[in-house]
Amino acid sequence: MEEEQKEKSFLREIGETVVFVICVVGLAFLIHRFLGQQVAVDGSSMLNTLQDGEHLVIEKVSYYKHDPERFDIIVFSPFEDEKDLYYVKRVIGLPGETVQIIDSDIYINGTKIEENFGREKIKDPGLAKDPITLGDGEFFVLGDNRNNSEDSRFEAVGKVKEDSIMGKACLRIWPLNRFGGVK
């Protein structure tokens, strides 16, 4: 009798452990899918704000409530067929706006914007030498290292669609000596 109770107790423990592991894995999936995730910066397009090899946490919740805002640093997947590839860039133009780069200055709806994120003067305005009008759910993004960034100025990236945005970079977690918020 005692042997039978031990076996039932053991099987109950195994069952509880399996349920616990399934719950933890499910919770981790939900957090990663809907709340936030960790990404690594690959390249120099966001210098001096972000360095190659830094690790960031992106949060996804705020964009359920509102659209990305000008100067947010976003992470997005530029190519539908390459979901594992993502870019980290700064939002410059918002839906419905017209963006143009003239003599290294950025104009939104014909008005020069004041910003100090760009590392240097823009040498190649790319597609933005002519006015680019953004439709609903479209954003114009630039890297802070303007002369070393593949961004909305170039056809390979172009206008960033809202549904390709993974989230907003909010926290630098590595290296530890640069730990803190991202702006």
Q: Which residues are catalytic?
A: 45, 89
Alpha-carbon dihedral 109, 105, 88, 151, rounded to 10 degrees:
80
What is the amino acid identity at position 37? Q
Question: Among all chains, which residue has been given the structure tokens 């452990």?
Answer: 17
For 22, 100, 154, 166, 174, the CA distances from 39, given in Å and listed in that order, are: 25, 30, 23, 10, 10
109 by DSSP, 3-state: which?
coil
Q: Which residues of 40-60 are buried (b: 16+ CB within 10 A; e: fewer)?
A: ebebbbbbebbeeebebbbeb
